[in-house]
Structure formats: structure tokens, C-alpha cells
């Protein structure tokens, strides 16, 4: 196969929600679109990143792009850290085919909505292990990976996050725009879409394809 785009889903999901997005990316980039599925509740961040590294290493392609929605983007960032996994796979991606990364509404600085949910009865159990590690504390992240990385955020505030507590800042209804800001990213873009609406937005698909293809978003 000449090119592959790997989609990494978010919390509580399994990747099927990305069917339209994957179809559009496959058509616009003329490549195959695959799903990486992981246990977003029962496994921790390191285990899921390790599994993603093995998944990517097994692919055969001339180009290999990644798209992560919400918490899926955090799994990608962990996978492409400078660490070396236990089975010897280089997680910085230097041993993989060339490609780029796009994060869709990934809360790289933590998630206020997740913090609100964690305060409710059984909230931490509902969030699971990966979210407890990746979402419940505010932090400053920096991308130092060898691949060019773009970030898309949404500011149409309709989503689950508003049901568990006030967000009080521009958001996609679940993730604040400011929570998606990643130092070291090549480009960052905010669009009028909601958190789940990103999966069906033609504009999100077009801009994702543009960055994966050329390393920049369309003006």
C-alpha cells in the first residue's frame, strides 16, 4: 500500500464514529484509512501507547499519517515520545515511514470537563485509567517529535462537558480551545464545530487532509 492514515479514537469510543471522516481522508489523500482501537477505560496511557507503537510498526506503507481525536491524540503523543518501548520500537517515529500528525480537540493541557466528572460519585471509575492519568491535571506539553504536527480545535459549545460543570471559556462543548494549545505544533486552527461534530464536518476533513498532505492548513 502506498499510504495509510491511522485514526486513534477518544474516550469511551471504538473508532466507528470516524467512518465519514476516514472515508473523506481516504478519498482526498488517496490512501487507506485504518482504525487503532484501544481499551480507553481499562488500560493506562503507557499500555495504550505501547500497543499503538506495535500497531504502527506492523504496517507497511510509503507514508504513514496519524489523526487523533480527543484523548486519542494524547495516546499518539505518548507513543511518539523520546522513550524506547520494551520491545525495542523507537517511539519517536524515526523507524517508521514518513508522515504527519493532526490532533482533533485533544486536551493536551488537561480537561476541565474531566475534572468536573471526577468529582462526581464514581466519576473516576467512569473515566478510567488513561483519562485519570492524562486529563485530570493541568500541565504544559511541548511537541518535540520529528513529525510535523497540526492541531484543530472547535469553538461550537455543544457537548457533554457542559453537563458536568461550567467551562467558562471558548470550547467545543467538551474541551476548551486553550486546552488544545500545544507548544511546538507547526500549525493550530480553530473551527466552528463541536467536539463530536468534528467527525462529520467536511471542513475538518478537508483541513486535516491539507495538513497531512502539505504540512499546513488552508487559509
| Phi/psi-derived region of residue 10, left when phi > 0, alpha when psi is between -120 and 50, beta in every other case | beta
Which residues constitute the domain of residue 73? 3-214
State the pairing for strand pair 149-154/63-69: unpaired
Each residue of 77-125: pLDDT tens digit?
999 985 544 454 555 566 789 999 999 999 999 888 877 777 777 878 8
Give the C-alpha separation, 168 to 116, whole Å. 13
Q: Is residue 219 part of a domain?
A: no
Domain count, the chain: 1
Q: Is residue 29 part of a domain?
A: yes
Q: Is residue 122 part of a domain?
A: yes
CATH of the domain at 13: 3.40.50.1820
122: exposed, middle or buried (Cβ count in 10 Å: 0-12, 13-18, 19+): exposed
pTM: 0.91
Give the C-alpha separation, 34 to 21, whole Å. 11
pLDDT at 116: 77
pLDDT at 163: 53
Q: Which residues of the chain have pLDDT under 50?
A: 84-86, 88
pLDDT at 186: 98
Amino acid at each position: 500500500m502506498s499510504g495509510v492514515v491511522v485514526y486513534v479514537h477518544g474516550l469511551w469510543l471504538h473508532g466507528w464514529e470516524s467512518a465519514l471522516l476516514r472515508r473523506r481522508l481516504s478519498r482526498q489523500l488517496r490512501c487507506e484509512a485504518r482504525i487503532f482501537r484501544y481499551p480507553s477505560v481499562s488500560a493506562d496511557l503507557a499500555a495504550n501507547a505501547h500497543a499503538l507503537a506495535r500497531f504502527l510498526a506492523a504496517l507497511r506503507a510509503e507514508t504513514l499519517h496519524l489523526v487523533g481525536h480527543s484523548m486519542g491524540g494524547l495516546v499518539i503523543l505518548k507513543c511518539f515520545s523520546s522513550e524506547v518501548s520494551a520491545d525495542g520500537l523507537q517511539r519517536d517515529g524515526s523507524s517508521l515511514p514518513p508522515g504527519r500528525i493532526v490532533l482533533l480537540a485533544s486536551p493536551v493541557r488537561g480537561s476541565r470537563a474531566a475534572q468536573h466528572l471526577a468529582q462526581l460519585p464514581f466519576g473516576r471509575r467512569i473515566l478510567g485509567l488513561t483519562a485519570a492519568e492524562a486529563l485530570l491535571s493541568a500541565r504544559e506539553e511541548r511537541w518535540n517529535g520529528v513529525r510535523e504536527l497540526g492541531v484543530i480545535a472547535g469553538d461550537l459549545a455543544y457537548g457533554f462537558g457542559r453537563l458536568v460543570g461550567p467551562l467558562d471559556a471558548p470550547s467545543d462543548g467538551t474541551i476548551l480551545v486553550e486546552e488544545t494549545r500545544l507548544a511546538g505544533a507547526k500549525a493550530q486552527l480553530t473551527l466552528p464545530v463541536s467536539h463530536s461534530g468534528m467527525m462529520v464536518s467536511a471542513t475538518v476533513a478537508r483541513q486535516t487532509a491539507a495538513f497531512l498532505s502539505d504540512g499546513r492548513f488552508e487559509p
